[in-house]
Amino acid sequence: MAAAPPPAAAAGTAAAAGSAGGWGGVRRRCQRLLYWVPVLFISSILCWSYYAYVTQLCLLTMTNIGEKVVCLVAYHIFFMLFVWSYWKTIFTLPMNPSKEFHLSYSDKESLEREPRGESQQEVLRRAAKDLPIYTRTMSGAIRYCDRCHLVKPDRCHHCSVCDKCILKMDHHCPWVNNCVGFSNYKFFLLFLAYSLLYCLFIAATDLQYFIKFWTNGLPDTQAKFHIMFLFFAAAMFSVSLSSLFGYHCWLVSKNKSTLEVFRAPIFRHRTDKNGFSLGFSKNLRQVFGDEKKYWLLPVFSSLGDGCSFPTCLVNQDPEQVSTPGGLNSTSKNESHLFPAKPLRDSQSHLLTDTQSWSDIGAKAEKGKIGMSNPALTMENET
């Protein structure tokens, strides 16, 4: 029997562990503070632009009263919409998968205890049989996150910065210090739109005074330098924002996320980069909603619950298991554990409500209890 360590050694070990834990906590807090630096930078630029435009340009430089009033009113409308959408993008919490997608305590223990193989397939088969999941990993496995211990819904990905699974994740944006996903993608798109309009408006109304600066048409005061830098900043941000906004408009029209552009979603029968596209009108309504009066306001109006999405794909014969490359299984005894019908006809809240997944899934696996399905092999993803 090994001898217990001396009290002094034990105390030293505990102190070292406590010191390491304390240093780790300080480092994480410092990282969280550093993540706010881009947001503070944008906020400082915004505050300076407000002072330069309202005070130096409108109040001190413009001489025409009508021009001054129109510019101030229009400017504050753009400014309010810009700040409102930016605020909502930053402080709207990303949505995580609902509890139905989380493994139970017993299932998690089974995954940790059993070796990879049929036993783990059975655990995931039992956990995912009533879930509206259509996408797979590259190897044809159910998309499972071993950090969050859940079966990933379609279009859900794990963010390494937030250390969470985010519904319909588009990307993690450092300029808003937040994940852009299902809960705030509309806000992010409006933030890009209103920031672009804000910059274009400033550049357009400041242009004549910028020209006067180079032709010595402005008095030699502090305002002339604010006017010059204001035009340069607005023009520079307009160029970068126009390309980014145009790119995300294209994503909306195709019903894609940034992650899906780089890695097309893999469905049970094949990879399809346009699998979630339903046409321009329906794609637009998925992000902005059915009520057009809310489209231009940063209030949540997107359709659906973020966990299930309609798709344009029609699945193959339910008696044939398909691989990601589209190769059918040769065994007729294997069956899908999910309904073999388009997701647009499922219980998704986006378009229609029909029969529940559990009822359809029960029909699909009727008489085939205990059959293995190699397409359901677990693959950990983070």
| DSSP class of 99 | G
Nearest to 131 by CA among 346, 382, 368, 375: 346
Q: How many CA atoms lie within 13 A of 296 on its CB side?
A: 7
Q: Helices marked H in the chain — which ranges? A: 7-34, 37-50, 65-91, 105-113, 118-128, 185-214, 222-254, 258-262, 280-288, 357-364
Catalytic, 173? Answer yes
The H or E element that residue 188 is part of is: helix 185-214
Pair of tokens at residue 56: 């130096």
Rounded Cα gap, residues 27 and 4, in angstroms: 34
- Which is it for the CA torsion 273, 274, 275, 281, positive or negative? positive
Structural contact between residues 23 and 204, judged by C-beta atoms closer than 8 angstroms: no
Contacts of 351 (CB under 8 A, 6+ apart): 282, 310, 344
In the set 145, 148, 165, 173, the catalytic residue is: 173
Catalytically annotated residues: 173
